[in-house]
């Protein structure tokens, strides 16, 4: 068996101190990029294998970052994760992912598992069920492990977040439906204790009021982001004495369920009823009846969340800052809501 390469071997080869090698390998900001690169290349060349666990225990850094999302099988969350990875991989970080299936208990267990796996930070979108407690987040904050929320966030002092302007997204979608001549617009919402769903709802409501239309709370139904739930809620809407002439859904999956139910009754989209979703999932444009939706620039959201993490992980632990980045949504108008060829703003 050959002798394992140590940092002393690398130091000797390069004529620098072992401490410098160690600092360079651990990404200490005091080391110049050129030196870091040289040490890194030499280490690779000499087959130096860093004992990352020992390193983690010593430096408190594992170069693993945890990402927690409600579900991975959504293009939106997968794209945010792609953005995070694109930003962090070149900086030597690895991304490990957990999903909560929107269950608070799993969210808590995920946080604990990731802490036990010694992650350097957690970037997450919270689940939309369960009690309003912050215990699990407290543990992170006490441990000084950076926590950054994206999309679905919670107001916690000192915790940064990257979101889109959901109020504006809801407002734009509803204004577009009104511009298409719709007057009785229903809203398929989700748990409005979650800010993003509350804000989409408030944007929808404000657009209705601003246009002098009657706001009818009975046209607002809370669902979960599943196709079957969309069909179920749409049944209720279509069975009303005066059914809606448009549906704005806070989820593309729910919008898809709505479309299935509308079609099954022989109603025409967009002639009889317009449908708008939210998130711009790829299937919304793949469908023959393409679905109007609100784009949330998820890759950019992920990249920015990762940048905020890098700022936090590199800053002195004594400085507490809180950053709130808000991105602007973009309405993608497609067949499911386009009655006339005149494209509204």
Interaction site with a copy of itself (CB under 8 A): 52-53, 56, 62-64, 66, 71-75, 78-79, 81, 85, 89, 94-99, 101, 106, 109-110, 112-114, 116-119, 227, 256, 282-283, 286-289
Q: Which residues make Cβ contacts (< 8 Å) with residue 199, sequence separation at least 6?
A: 165, 166, 167, 170
Q: How far is the CB of 155 from a copy of itself (least distance, A)?
A: 27
Nearer to a copy of itself, 71 or 235 (CB): 71
Q: How far is the CB of 47 from a copy of itself (least distance, A)?
A: 11
| Closest CA relative to residue 313, chosen from 95, 146, 142, 140 | 146
Q: How far apart are the C-alpha atoms of 210 and 94, rounded to whole Å?
A: 47
Q: How far is the CB of 309 from a copy of itself (least distance, A)?
A: 16
Nearer to a copy of itself, 97 or 196 (CB): 97
Q: Is 133 exposed, middle or buried (0-12, 13-18, 19+ CB in 10 A)?
A: exposed
Q: How far is the CB of 61 from a copy of itself (least distance, A)?
A: 11
Q: Is 125 exposed, middle or buried (0-12, 13-18, 19+ CB in 10 A)?
A: buried
Give kind and range of the element (H or E) at residue 147: strand 147-150
Nearer to a copy of itself, 84 or 308 (CB): 84
Nearer to a copy of itself, 181 or 282 (CB): 282
Nearer to a copy of itself, 78 or 213 (CB): 78
Nearer to a copy of itself, 35 or 64 (CB): 64
Q: How far is the CB of 72 from a copy of itself (least distance, A)?
A: 4
Take residue 59 and report the two structure tokens written for it.
Answer: 């430096």
Give the alpha-carbon dihedral of 139, 144, 148, 154, to 10 degrees: 40
List Cα–Cα distances, 248 to 150, 172, 193, 256, in angstroms: 23, 11, 19, 11
Tell me how far the alpha carbon of residue 319 is from its chain's centroid: 26
Q: How far is the CB of 223 from a copy of itself (least distance, A)?
A: 18
Q: How far is the CB of 80 from a copy of itself (least distance, A)?
A: 11
Nearer to a copy of itself, 74 or 190 (CB): 74
Determine the straight-line distance between the first and last CA of the chain, rounded to whole angstroms. 71
| Closest CA relative to residue 105, chosen from 125, 130, 128 | 130
Give kind and range of the element (H or E) at residue 94: strand 94-99
């Amino acid at each position: 068996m050959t002798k394992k390469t140590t940092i002393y071997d690398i130091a000797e080869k390069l004529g620098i101190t072992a401490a410098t090698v160690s600092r360079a390998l651990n990404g200490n900001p005091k080391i110049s990029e050129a030196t870091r690169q040289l040490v890194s290349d030499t280490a690779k060349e000499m087959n130096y294998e860093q004992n990352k666990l020992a390193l983690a225990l010593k430096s408190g850094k594992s170069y693993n970052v945890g990402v927690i999302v409600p579900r991975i099988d959504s293009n939106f969350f997968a794209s945010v994760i792609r953005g995070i990875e694109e930003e962090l991989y070149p900086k030597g970080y690895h991304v490990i992912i957990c999903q909560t299936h929107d269950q608070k208990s799993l969210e808590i267990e995920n946080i604990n598992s990731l802490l036990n796996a010694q992650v350097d930070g957690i970037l997450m979108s919270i689940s939309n069920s369960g009690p309003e407690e912050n215990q699990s987040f407290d543990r992170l904050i006490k441990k000084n492990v950076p926590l950054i929320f994206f999309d679905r966030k919670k107001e916690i002092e000192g915790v940064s977040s990257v979101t889109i302007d959901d109020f504006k997204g809801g407002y734009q979608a509803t204004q577009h439906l009104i511009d298409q001549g719709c007057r009785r617009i229903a809203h398929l919402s989700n748990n409005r204790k979650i800010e993003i769903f509350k804000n989409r709802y408030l944007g929808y409501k404000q657009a209705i009021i601003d246009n002098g239309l009657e706001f009818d709370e009975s046209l607002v139904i809370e669902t979960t982001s599943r196709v079957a739930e969309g069909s179920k809620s749409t049944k209720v809407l279509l069975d009303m004495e005066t059914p809606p002439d448009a549906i704005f859904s806070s989820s593309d999956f729910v919008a898809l369920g709505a479309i299935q139910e509308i079609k099954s009754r022989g109603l025409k989209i967009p002639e009889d009823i317009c449908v708008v979703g939210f998130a711009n999932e790829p299937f919304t444009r793949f469908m023959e009846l393409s679905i109007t939706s609100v784009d949330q620039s998820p890759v950019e959201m992920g990249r920015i969340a990762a940048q905020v993490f890098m700022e936090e992980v590199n800053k002195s632990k004594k400085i507490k800052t809180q950053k709130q980045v808000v991105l602007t949504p973009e309405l993608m108008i497609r067949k499911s809501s386009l009655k006339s060829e005149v494209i509204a703003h």
